[in-house]
Homo-oligomer: A and B are copies of this chain.
Amino acid sequence: MRTPYRSLLMLSMILPAALAQAADSTSTSQTMAIKDIEARLHQLEQQLSQAKIADAQAAAKAAREKQSAHHFEFHGYARSGLLASDHLTPTQGGVNITPAGSSGGHVGRLGNEKDTYVELNFEDHQSFANGAKVRYKVMMADGQDSYNDWTASTSQLNVRQVFVEMSHLPSFTGVFKDSTLWAGKRFDRNNFDIHWLDSDVVFLAGTGGGIDNVKWSNQAHSSFSIYGRNFDDITSNTIQNYTLTANNYYGPWQLMLNTMRSQNNQQRSNTGLGSSHATDSGVNGMLAYHAKSFYGLTQGSAMIAFLYGHGLGAEVKNIGSDGKLLDSANTYRLATYGTVRLTPIWSIAPALMVQRSHNRYLNGDKYDWATANLRLNQQLTENFSMQYETTYQYMDINPQQLNGNSAVKGSFYKVTIAPTFRPTAFKSFFDRPEIRLFATYMNWSQDLNHYSSSDALGGSGFHSGGQVNVGVQMETWF
């Protein structure tokens, strides 16, 4: 009876080995597969982490470069085209075509410009590791009535702006935290205009320095500047005018105050029926409201400004630029415009400018006028609109025979229709470029022909009774 036991013992002896071998046969291939997989995974993970490191390094490098690098920007404005009479002959045009023009009474510009005017802006922007930023700007400009491509003999090319701005200066804190220091020759950054009259509401420019955006609160901030300007010579003695400016903002409100001084300028004298000496000082101010709606009525934009100036300040737009003003000169000006989209097709932009300026260059003279302008855009296709503009201006001007000019009273009006091409659908009146064809009809009171023998109105072939001008023009800014 031993055999079975022996066989059992034998069996119990072979079992483990058999089991192990049986299990191994399948698991070995798996183990190898896993080893292989783990190797490949390791590679992948390394590659990914290397890629990440490379990305991080690139980003860091870009950031470093951005901090130290100079960044160039090219900006500009230009208009150029043909303006001709309806017989394709030379004609007259321009926003200051009327007797009111010389004292700021512009008429609408659409279909009424004959020049090629270009502004080239070259800017160098720099930002530093400490957060400070520097902006350097140079503007060159030229204005030309010649249609020729070589205009060296009549070139007006000149440098209108050269200035440096410094901002985000880490050591500037408190109300100066967001301030910008500047010096050089420039257009003041707080200037603004009524585009359709090609007239700034206030245009402060010259050479000097100042600080912008002294921030009293989230609502209130101010700018302070000094600007120098030159008047033409009196007996080879150049007169300089210095204007001190404070621009104060509270929400939509802007209050600008200017005081100016021009020593020895009272040596200057103007002559006409009488003779008056210029003044050597002046003040002016502007209260403006910049609305984000169309006069509170509907979506759109609007601006209202009231300006007053006395003495050298009586030129209320081109601050400190007119050296012939009298000590008794007083000018009041109201300027407003708005833009609104009436329908997906129709948009309109009305504008109004009214001035009363007395004792300006000679005692008893007056330069009073009112200009109403309306521009409409009728969107027809994505790239084509019809634009319409009409201007009415009334003027009552008595220069007291300054420069031999005569007192006149009367009105001027123009109507323009301008098929206009744009790269994209009309969004606002402030998108450019535009390429326009246009036809303009203008007429005026006969009396205006007699203001001056050398001005446009009443000039040869340009008398009251109706004039038609046609042309093609481009306008762009960016």
Contacts and interface: CB of A to CB of B under 8 A. Distances in A.
Interface of A: 1, 3-5, 7-8, 11-12, 15-16, 18-20, 22-27, 30-31, 33-34, 37-38, 40-41, 44-45, 47-48, 51, 70, 72, 74, 76, 78, 80-82, 84, 87-90, 116, 118, 120, 122, 124, 126, 128-130, 132-134, 136, 138, 140-144, 146-152, 155-164, 166, 169-172, 181-187, 205-209, 226-230, 237-240, 242, 261, 263-264, 321, 381-384, 421-425, 433, 435-437, 460, 472-474, 476, 478
A387 to B, nearest CB: 15
Interface-central residue, A162, A425, A436, by most chain B CB under 10 Å: A162
**Total copies of this chain within the assembly:** 3
A429 to B, nearest CB: 18
A142 B254 CA distance: 36
B88 A261 contact: yes
A128 B27 contact: no
Nearest to A183: B474
A147 B423 contact: no
A455 to B, nearest CB: 14
A83 to B, nearest CB: 9
A255 B311 CA distance: 63
A237 B461 CA distance: 12
Contact of A238 (B3, B90, B238): B90
B421 A169 contact: yes
B435 A181 contact: yes
A164 B433 contact: yes
Contacts of A207: 80-82, 116, 147-148
Given A22-B16, A474-B209, A118 B228 contact: no
Contact of A157 (B34, B128, B147, B159): B159
Contacts of A126: 423, 478
Contacts of A476: 134, 136, 164
Contact of A186 (B118, B149, B205, B437): B149
A240 B7 contact: no
Nearest to A423: B132
A76 B26 contact: no
28 contacts: A3-B4, A4-B5, A11-B11, A19-B22, A22-B23, A30-B30, A33-B34, A78-B164, A80-B185, A81-B183, A81-B208, A87-B263, A90-B237, A128-B424, A132-B423, A134-B476, A136-B476, A140-B157, A142-B158, A147-B227, A148-B229, A149-B185, A152-B158, A164-B435, A169-B382, A181-B435, A183-B435, A209-B435
Contacts of A205: 148-149
- Top 8 nearest A-B pairs by Cβ distance? A183-B474, A4-B4, A19-B22, A209-B472, A132-B423, A80-B184, A147-B207, A149-B205
